[in-house]
A and B are shown apart, each in its own frame.
Chain A
Amino acid sequence: MRAEAEKLKKFFIKNAWMANIVYPLIGVGVILLIWVIGAAAVGMEMILPTPSRAFEEFFKLLKESEFWLAVGNTLARTILSFVLGFLAAAVTATLSAFVKPAGRIIAPIITVLRSVPTMSIILIAVIALRSTQAPVLVTFLIVYPLLHSSFERALENVDPYAVNMSKVFGVPIYKRVFKLYIPAVLPDVFAASKSNVSLALKVMIASEVLAQTFDSMGVNMQISRIYLDTAQLMGWTLAAIIMSFALEGAVSLLKRFTVRWK
């Protein structure tokens, strides 16, 4: 048993470069292959440009100040919406988990928020708010209920024996919070954050289109689209994918940081 485990461990350590680099590269290669074949089959750049054209447009965009302005604005709004959603979810999930009546009030609100079509939130927000605010509200309203549910589940999954033990032994609240609850929920919190931060970016870009937010990635994508500049649209898309990776990477980095802290 032990020898077996040791062997397995060795295999993974020795093959870490393989698991971390080669396999993902194969995955990316498959996507590019489908893209190349697809572009060749369609045979028209206006409809589906080749990957090389998309990358060319992407590097062209990198040189433009408007690109950086749009990326900066969209990124800042995404982070703002996400952080607001995160904080609200942290507060309401804690309330739900520890104060039963509050949980009963919050639960239906979350269910409603989760089931409201994104489109109607967008349409109402666009009329009521400024074009720079509406996408923030929309992204918040999409991300918040998802984070709330994840956080609540994480809190409910904290080892009930450890919770009861802390109660019986009269462990002070601050100790319970910092030693028991936070370390126990952190992995789930980070997992939920990672998947929701890239969702936030997607929702942000979509609502920027609908809110016609100036100097934003969404509107720039739409302008590329209406002028049939699909290669440039793909260039913007590549930028969005890279931003997604960067945001998820930032969450992972934060995770490493806090793991050390606890």
Chain B
Amino acid sequence: MKKKLLITLFVLIMTAVLSVAVLAGCTDDDSDGNGAKVINIVVPDGSPAIALAKLINDNSAPEGYTVNYSVVAGATQITTAIANKTADIAIAPTNIGATIYNKTGAVKLYATVVQGALYMVGKEYLAGDTVQEKLASLKGQTVFNIGQGGTPDLTFKYILDHYGIAYQATDVEDESYVALRYVTDGSELLPMLKQGTAKYGILGEPAVSRANANTGTSTVFDIQELWKDVTGAQTAGFPQASVFVTTELLNGEHAALLSWLSAGLKDNAAWAESNPATVSEVLASKGSTSLNGLTSGMIEACNLDYVSAVDAKQAVNTYLSALYGFAANTVGGKMPDDAFYYAG
């Protein structure tokens, strides 16, 4: 009896130790065969990925570096990649970067690259002349958004709050509030708009252009514009996604790499808008699944402006404090301090 118990325990503990060993056994290699330093850049699929298109297409790396790119499904993979040091540079939603910074201090914000690609599309135009009146006309209607509690949701709620318009997450429409409903992904909303089960929806580019082209909707609000109105004029508008660089690369020894990175990102917007087909192609080759058939218009609507951390600081702060106001965990429990912003 005792013996059996001991054997069982032994087997269980060995299983535990082995499984942990396997988990922890994934080692990383920092240099390739030629002694060049390997830099891995990861980006989530969607509009932030477009910010990397030119760098991927040029496929040039500064002397002494080998650069790999990968497009991954979402922010969770980015976090994992940074945590286990398989990513050195990442483009991520700005608040996710702040969370990683607050929890690990492993990365800093290097620049913002997507200044918001969120739009509200609708099957009907909104009544009213002012933003206030138009938003108020949504009472009694349902607005669909991507991901309850996600940044597009919180941003829209922030705007509604500012104009004093009541809203509620509910299936029941009522004249006294705007009903909010959610889908997990923009692609889910398109058939609903087409069928008419959804009348208004907030989407990110390039889903916005697809909706307008295929489902009979038109853009009724540019969320970025609303954001600017609400928060006051901002140099960098609505800093949705940013470039984050691990602190090891920011110690002054990798200036050549950083200036190459800045240059590539700065030139990206103009290049991408004039080469949409190439953008789709190179991103698909790195693992993107949602960016085929891009057009100049779609890319332009993504607001891919490069703003360095120093210049973007105020806008980022405004954005993050708006999110923080909803829930502290959206930015990692606290507002990031000054060291979050790379000073150059």
Q: Which residues of A contact B (CB under 8 A)?
A: 26, 30, 33-34, 37-38, 41-42, 44-47, 123, 126-128, 130-132, 209-210, 212, 214-215, 219, 222-229, 232
Contact = CB atoms under 8 A, between A and B. Distances in A.
Contacts of B13: 30, 33
Contacts of B15: 34
A212 B83 contact: no
Interface in B180-200: 180-184, 188, 191-192, 195, 197
Contact of A212 (B17, B80, B148, B330): B148
25 contacts: A30-B12, A30-B13, A34-B16, A37-B16, A38-B20, A38-B23, A41-B20, A46-B99, A46-B103, A47-B83, A123-B188, A127-B188, A127-B191, A127-B192, A127-B195, A131-B181, A132-B171, A212-B184, A219-B149, A222-B149, A223-B149, A224-B329, A227-B327, A227-B332, A228-B99
Contacts of B140: none
B17 A37 contact: yes
Contacts of A131: 171, 181-182
B170 interface: yes
Contact of B329 (A33, A212, A229): A229
Contacts of A30: 9, 12-13, 16
A223 B327 CA distance: 11
Interface string B1-39: 000000001001101110110011000000000000000
B103 A45 contact: yes
B169 A215 contact: yes
B130 interface: no
Given A26-B9, A30-B12, A34-B16, A44 B83 contact: yes
Nearest to B25: A41
Main DSSP-derived SS at the A contact region = helix
A204 B50 CA distance: 36
B68 interface: no
A63 to B, nearest CB: 15
A127 B184 CA distance: 11
Nearest to B182: A212
A214 B75 contact: no
Nearest to A209: B184
A45 B150 CA distance: 21
B25 to A, nearest CB: 9
B165 interface: no
B277 to A, nearest CB: 30
Contacts of A222: 147-149
B100 interface: yes
**Tier of interface size on chain B:** 35 or more
B19 A212 contact: no
B104 interface: yes
B20 A227 contact: no
B100 A126 contact: no
A222 B23 CA distance: 24
Contacts of B329: 224, 227, 229, 232
A209 B150 CA distance: 13
B171 A228 contact: no
B79 interface: yes
Contacts of A225: 76
Contacts of A226: 75-76, 96, 147, 149-150
Contact of B171 (A123, A130, A209): A130
A128 B100 CA distance: 38
A33 B192 contact: no
Contacts of A47: 79-80, 83-84
Contacts of A41: 20, 23-24
Contacts of A228: 75-76, 79, 96, 99-100, 103, 332
Contacts of B96: 226-228
Contacts of A223: 148-150
B150 to A, nearest CB: 6
Contacts of B100: 46, 228
Contacts of B195: 127
Most buried by B among A33, A127, A215, A228: A228
Interface string B82-110: 01100000000001100110011000000
A44 B195 CA distance: 45
Contacts of A224: 329
A6 B64 CA distance: 80
Given A34-B15, A212-B182, A227-B99, 14 more contacts: A33-B13, A37-B16, A44-B103, A46-B83, A46-B99, A46-B100, A46-B103, A47-B80, A127-B197, A131-B171, A214-B182, A215-B169, A228-B96, A232-B329
